[in-house]
Structure 1
């Protein structure tokens, strides 16, 4: 039913946890396959993908290019785009299945779904970041890629898919969806907090905000990718 597409680049430290969270849904037939779209990893990413029985495709590095390459190989009627450092919490599959059923049976129009953002860290700052992300989604209907995106293959094709962007590929696609076509699921997508811990929560938060402002000022994504690091 669902083809999960995960873009990777030297993602070995987190990929095992991301894939493990998909196993129950695979056993119950909700997930049909997992596709790893790799951008030239030099660590054990590809070995992990092979050992896990995923479909591995190599693509030029850049999340937009990698995601679209993975989607092109997908066999499922639904696509779930997921980052390699994001773990879906138990219960996500049942909620996703109910959402897909509503769309497939026509009880609601074509739509895409995303998960609640969470960080795998304790303390005040991680909760503050989560609150700001929730506020951004509520005010602007603008989830990021680390919240996952569940969308039918047909709707994805109508939107034109991911563009070959090295950064902001998630924002670029979501902006082509209407507000009524975006549904927030209650299940959490728990993302690694390593970047925040390494760079500092405040610095990382202001950096992300600055990159978004530059994007809306039409700074080329390749420049944004260099700033992102």
Structure 2
């Protein structure tokens, strides 16, 4: 009986290819099949990060999202579309694994930190031998390029989604000593208003596409809400502690 392939979830870091781990690079280059997720008409950030490391004999497999951030007609359900997409993507990956081919699914940042791979992992990890390699996540990349220590001593840190309703975001942020607010894009104006309303504007920092070639650091007050990309972060570092 043919041995099944092994599934790898590889965190390839936030954008700078040099931030990929040695282990992720080794497993990436050993995999006969490299799967990546991307929006329609794009190759995706994960593939952009690793493409110079791929070998000609490796097969790449695109898993194309049916929808990303666009507004859907009322009769369509985002949750259903995306769930069906991950079901189908998992079976595409499984076909290679059943044929005895290892598959490396690459994921920007870390696979288990808002990473798309986690949904494939949920569907396949009980059926196939699986290994997950962590990667540098966007929150840590943002702190690094902003030169902003996140938390001192016993401070707490919260990771918040900008998609949250305004009052819920305000409630959660007010309970934290330090925070990273992700998933901005069209939510940016709401997020900035909450930060300012809580009196955190003097500590809050903003960066777009941290460590990528098109990285951009802008004072929070000067960001054009219409231009803020999904891959941007607002950091509210903990208050400095004098040692």
Q: Same fold (TM over 0.5)?
A: no
Q: Name the TM-score class by shorter chain.
A: 0.3 to 0.5
Q: What TM-score do the two structures reach when normalised by structure 2? A: 0.31
The TM-score normalised by the length of structure 1 is: 0.33
Larger radius of gyration: 2
